[in-house]
């Protein structure tokens, strides 16, 4: 078979990408498709024909139980400069990122290349669907800069194994569109299969659907008749080999990816002779200094065919050899320890593997290693179990598993309290307090820190975190004082964290120098190498700017924070920073994108805890402005979070949103009691923005709300009744501007109404039309119902989603779980769908959906 049969278009795309890179504009090329579609064949054909001087750095991800951090980078480091190998040995994520970028940029200088070489580097990573988080972060950084590099980044992956919302999906979705190429890899045509299989081509194509690997395996093993499966075909070819070759393949089958020659020298002396026949028949190949099956599907076919006892024996042999190596590859050891559950190997290597993965930023892998350790952790001493529990809790937090993080942190505290290590107990209590705060249990978090301080009143760690929590819990002055008191005694990283929160506290009190102090702490944390404190610094900087109304500075801070913290390492901070950006999109009228982004964050992080203060209130308010029935459910969740945390800013923003919802419904009186309580509680420094917003909503709901001296001008003007000036002050905020205009002259009301219609702000637009009708205005803009005009039955986008799920046979409870809504909200949606369709049953609605989509 020709290795490039019906693959000329993909190869041409790769050649064009390399030409662009050699001209100074790098490219990303994605080779995606099902297993066996020919991704590796295309890649190797391309790399085999690279122009002289083009540098090739190639690596592959292995199908291990838990991926090893920077797995494929260890492969390509063999052909890279010393800097990358040094960074990988140290496990320093930042250094690895810098080293990879240096490799991709190396072709800029002829002095760094062989004599006469031309610029250009190809970095190829195969099977990224098995990649670890740390590698995905490196690829994301490289891809973001690729257009400025003389390099081509080629990634192969199985697109049917990329889960929605996964890290890989986020990487693929964030690739620079102009620089990314996605050449298709279609199945082979009937004609192409016929060229390979002769008279049996039609039968082979029917059995394989044109998958190139399956075609070649069936053709190679067909003999007198067609094997019933590819597994049968592979095993038939292996069974026909000499006994030494079969035994070697059985050994290779339990090693995912590639087996190094040095490993085979130890396990199977004389292996080159046994490899000769399977290599000649195309079953295995020798890439570099390793041996591998030509395709992973063939390896898996042999592996699953092994009797359990024989497979375990092969696994144990590989495990023993890997444990004797220095340095030890902990991830590979644990992969081979899993089938037979070698407890000693798990106890010895899982903690080390987890810590190395966490240090590299591969938090999903770190968590997986802790999970592998969990059934056996009781074999360890209490002190070690406590340390592991605290680390495990942190990885659960990084995975947004807040409840599990609290439970694991409680275990760490219980284990420490049985010992006599006071400092360790304090550390455990501080860790528990952090997870309690993230869950939204602010009072419990504060009580836990009080226990820590009582245990050791001189603990700078405990007192710093108590000061931080006081700032976050509306006791800013006490928090600032405590942080100032302990700052001089703290080590640099902790002192930097204290500076960040002193600045945030000052901003919360309305002091203009707060953001500058946050920035100083952030820079100090970066100098101290405290990545998590840097990430907290960026979220604090954005909060400080937002509280002071300096929204024009927020986009740059959000972008810098996401880039500098590499949010994959710190998912919670990335969640908050992204949410801040989406809040600004709500403000400036980009509602469709903002709603989609906020819904995605809420749906993909169901255990966001206190972090949902940045998503639930703005999402609920936006939905209320659009008249979406989901608003009630989202705002109810937001209010439950606000009251559980007893956070005044969240209470104010959510209360204002609930009031706006009531005003849009024409029932402002239902929020009077809540509004009065919040207005009274908001009489304190630093709340000019949230308090002004609340007072405006109170006024709209029919309460007497007089302006204060310290409100922002745009709020004060509105409350003073100067709506024309207030509308001007709200420039850049179309919805707020429109709300002021509809309080003015007839012409201003019409102008505001047009803006509301464009935004899809149905409740406010309805009130504006009633106002014009009451004034006797005859020519009132009709206004399209955005989001429903394109639907033949007038369904909103959400109702169309509900209808599709009804057609799939889902119950209301299942739909609620799928869309992250309450069952009550789904009940309302279903009733509305049936009414708009003019049908009486779910079955009739499903039939209508099928009719709408026939032939689509």
Q: Residue 109 pLDDT > 60, yes or no?
A: no
Check for a shared fold between 8-181 and 797-853.
no
Residues near 821 by Cβ (< 8 Å), separated by ≥ 6? 630, 633, 815, 829
- Region 210-233: mean pLDDT is 69
Tens digits of residue pLDDT in 112-167: 444 444 578 999 999 999 999 999 999 999 999 999 999 999 999 998 888 877 88
**Res. 200 pLDDT band, cuts 50 70 90:** confident
Mean pLDDT (the chain) is 89
What's the pLDDT score for residue 511? Answer: 96
Question: What percent of the chain has pLDDT above 90?
Answer: 65
Count CB neighbours of 676 within 10 A.
12
Q: Residue 108 pLDDT > 50, yes or no?
A: no
What's the pLDDT score for residue 569? Answer: 58
CATH code reported for the domain at 797-853: 1.10.10.10
Give the burial class of 845: count Cβ atoms within 10 A of its Cβ; 0-12 exposed, 13-18 middle, 19 or more buried: buried
Element (H, E) at 119: none
Q: In the β-sheet with 180-181, what is the strand arrangement from edge to edge?
A: 55-60, 121-126, 151-157, 27-32, 180-181
**Res. 853 pLDDT band, cuts 50 70 90:** low
Q: Residue 226 pLDDT > 60, yes or no?
A: no
Tens digits of residue pLDDT in 163-182: 877 889 888 988 998 999 99
Tens digits of residue pLDDT in 638-647: 999 999 999 9
pTM value is 0.81
What's the pLDDT score for residue 181? Answer: 95
What's the pLDDT score for residue 115? Answer: 45
**Res. 230 pLDDT band, cuts 50 70 90:** low
Tens digits of residue pLDDT in 6-15: 899 999 999 9
Assigned token pair, 825: 């909200």
Tens digits of residue pLDDT in 575-626: 999 999 999 999 999 999 999 999 989 988 888 999 999 999 999 999 999 9
Count CB neighbours of 474 within 10 A.
18
What's the pLDDT score for residue 817? Answer: 67
What's the pLDDT score for residue 820? Answer: 58
What's the pLDDT score for residue 795? Answer: 78
Tens digits of residue pLDDT in 349-405: 999 999 999 988 888 899 999 999 999 999 999 999 999 999 999 999 988 899 999
What's the pLDDT score for residue 317? Answer: 95
Tell me the C-alpha distance between 825 and 440, whole Å: 24
Tell me the C-alpha distance between 617 and 689, whole Å: 15
What's the pLDDT score for residue 222? Answer: 59
Tens digits of residue pLDDT in 262-300: 999 999 999 999 999 999 988 998 887 899 998 888 888
Residue-by-residue DSSP string for 355-421: HHHHHHT-HHHHHHHHHHHGGGGGGS-HHHHHHHHHHHHHHHHHTT-HHHHHHHHHHHHHHHHTSS-
- Region 415-432: mean pLDDT is 96
Give the burial class of 370: count Cβ atoms within 10 A of its Cβ; 0-12 exposed, 13-18 middle, 19 or more buried: buried
Domain ranges of the chain: 8-181, 467-562, 600-774, 797-853
Tell me the C-alpha distance between 242 and 274, whole Å: 8
What's the pLDDT score for residue 523? Answer: 96
- Region 320-345: mean pLDDT is 92
Tell me the C-alpha distance between 399 and 846, whole Å: 37
What's the pLDDT score for residue 224? Answer: 44
Cβ–Cβ < 8 Å for 30, 176: no
What's the pLDDT score for residue 402? Answer: 94
What's the pLDDT score for residue 110? Answer: 43
Compute the C-alpha angle 737/743/747, nearest 5°: 85
Residue-by-residue DSSP string for 838-856: T-SSHHHHHHHHHHHHTT-
Tens digits of residue pLDDT in 655-705: 999 999 999 999 999 999 999 999 999 999 999 999 999 999 999 999 988
Cβ–Cβ < 8 Å for 526, 534: yes
Which CATH code of 3.30.2420, 3.40.50, 3.10.450, 1.10.10 fits the domain covering 8-181?
A: 3.40.50
What's the pLDDT score for residue 107? Answer: 52
Tens digits of residue pLDDT in 800-825: 878 888 887 888 887 876 665 667 77
């Amino acid at each position: 078979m020709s290795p490039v049969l019906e693959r000329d278009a993909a190869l041409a795309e790769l050649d064009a990408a390399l030409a662009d890179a050699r001209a100074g504009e790098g490219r990303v090329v994605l080779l995606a498709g099902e297993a066996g579609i020919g991704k590796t064949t295309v890649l190797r054909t391309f790399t085999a024909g690279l122009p002289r001087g083009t540098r090739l750095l190639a690596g592959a991800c292995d199908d291990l139980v838990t991926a090893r951090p920077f797995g494929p980078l260890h492969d390509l480091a063999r052909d890279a400069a010393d800097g990358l190998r040094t960074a990988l040995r140290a496990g320093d994520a930042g250094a690895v990122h810098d080293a990879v970028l240096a490799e991709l940029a190396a072709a800029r200088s002829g002095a760094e290349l062989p004599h006469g070489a031309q610029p250009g580097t190809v970095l190829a990573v195969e099977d990224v669907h098995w990649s670890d988080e740390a590698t995905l972060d490196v690829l994301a950084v490289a891809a973001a800069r690729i257009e400025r590099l003389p390099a081509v980044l080629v990634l192969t992956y199985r697109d049917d194994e990329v889960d929605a919302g996964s890290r890989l999906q986020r990487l693929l979705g964030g690739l620079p569109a102009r620089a990314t190429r996605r050449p298709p890899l279609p199945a082979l045509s009937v004609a192409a299969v016929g060229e390979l299989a002769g008279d049996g081509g039609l039968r082979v194509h029917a059995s394989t659907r044109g998958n190139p690997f399956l075609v070649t395996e069936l053709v190679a093993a067909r003999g007198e008749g067609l094997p019933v499966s590819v597994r049968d075909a592979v095993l038939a070819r292996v069974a026909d080999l000499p006994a030494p070759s079969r035994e070697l393949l059985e050994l290779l089958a339990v090693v995912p990816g590639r087996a190094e020659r040095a490993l085979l020298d130890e396990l199977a002396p004389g292996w080159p002779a046994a490899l000769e026949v399977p290599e000649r028949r195309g079953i295995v190949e020798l890439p570099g200094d390793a041996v591998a099956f030509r395709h992973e599907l063939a390896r898996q076919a042999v592996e699953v065919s092994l009797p359990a006892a024989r497979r375990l024996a092969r696994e144990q042999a590989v495990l023993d050899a890997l444990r004797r190596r220095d340095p030890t590859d902990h991830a590979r050891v644990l992969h081979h320890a899993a089938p037979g559950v070698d407890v000693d190997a798990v106890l010895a290597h899982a903690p080390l593997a987890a810590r190395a993965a966490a240090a590299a930023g591969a938090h999903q892998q770190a968590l997986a290693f802790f999970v592998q350790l969990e059934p056996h952790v009781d074999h360890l001493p209490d002190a070690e179990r406590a340390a592991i529990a605290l680390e495990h809790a942190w990885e659960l937090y990084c995975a947004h598993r807040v409840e599990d993080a609290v439970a694991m942190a409680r275990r760490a505290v219980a284990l420490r309290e049985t010992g006599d290590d006071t400092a360790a107990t304090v550390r455990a209590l501080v860790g528990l307090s952090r997870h309690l705060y993230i869950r939204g249990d602010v009072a419990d978090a504060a009580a836990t820190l009080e226990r820590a301080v009582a245990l050791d009143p001189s603990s700078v760690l405990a007192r710093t975190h108590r000061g931080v929590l006081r700032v976050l819990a509306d006791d800013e002055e006490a928090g600032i004082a405590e942080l100032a008191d302990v700052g001089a005694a703290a080590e640099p990283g902790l002192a930097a964290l204290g500076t960040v929160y002193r600045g945030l506290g000052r901003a919360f009190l309305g002091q203009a120098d707060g953001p500058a102090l946050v920035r100083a702490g952030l820079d100090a944390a970066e100098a101290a190498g405290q990545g998590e404190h840097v990430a907290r610094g960026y979220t604090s900087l954005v909060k400080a700017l937002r509280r002071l109304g300096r929204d024009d500075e927020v986009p740059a801070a959000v972008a810098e924070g996401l880039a500098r913290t590499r949010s994959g390492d710190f998912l919670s901070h990335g969640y908050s920073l992204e949410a801040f950006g989406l809040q600004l999109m709500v403000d400036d009228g980009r509602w469709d994108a903002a709603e989609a982004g906020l819904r995605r964050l809420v749906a993909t992080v169901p255990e966001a805890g206190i972090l949902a203060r940045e998503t639930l209130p703005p999402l609920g308010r936006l939905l209320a402005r659009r008249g979406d029935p989901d608003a009630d459910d989202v705002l109810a969740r937001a209010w439950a979070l606000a009251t559980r945390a007893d956070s005044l800013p969240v209470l104010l923003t959510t209360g204002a949103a609930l009031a706006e919802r009531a005003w849009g419904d024409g029932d402002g009186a239902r929020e009077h009691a809540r509004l009065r309580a919040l207005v009274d509680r908001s009489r304190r420094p630093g709340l000019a923005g949230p308090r002004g917003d609340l007072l405006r909503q109170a006024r709209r709901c029919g309460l007497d709300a007089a302006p204060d001296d310290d409100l922002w001008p745009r709020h004060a003007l509105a409350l003073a009744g100067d709506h024309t000036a207030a509308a001007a002050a709200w420039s850049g905020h179309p919805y707020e501007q429109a709300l002021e205009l509809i309080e003015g002259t007839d012409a201003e009301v019409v102008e505001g109404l047009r803006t509301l219609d464009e935004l899809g702000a149905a409740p406010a637009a309805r009130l504006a039309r009633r106002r014009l009708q009451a004034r006797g205005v005859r020519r009132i803009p009709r206004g399209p119902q955005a989001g429903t005009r394109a639907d033949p039955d007038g369904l909103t986008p959400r109702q169309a989603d509900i209808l599709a799920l009804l057609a799939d046979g889902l119950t209301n409870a299942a739909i609620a779980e799928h869309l992250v809504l309450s069952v009550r909200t789904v009940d309302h949606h279903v009733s509305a769908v049936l009414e708009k369709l003019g049908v009486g049953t779910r079955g009739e609605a499903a039939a209508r959906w099928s009719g709408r989509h026939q032939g689509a």
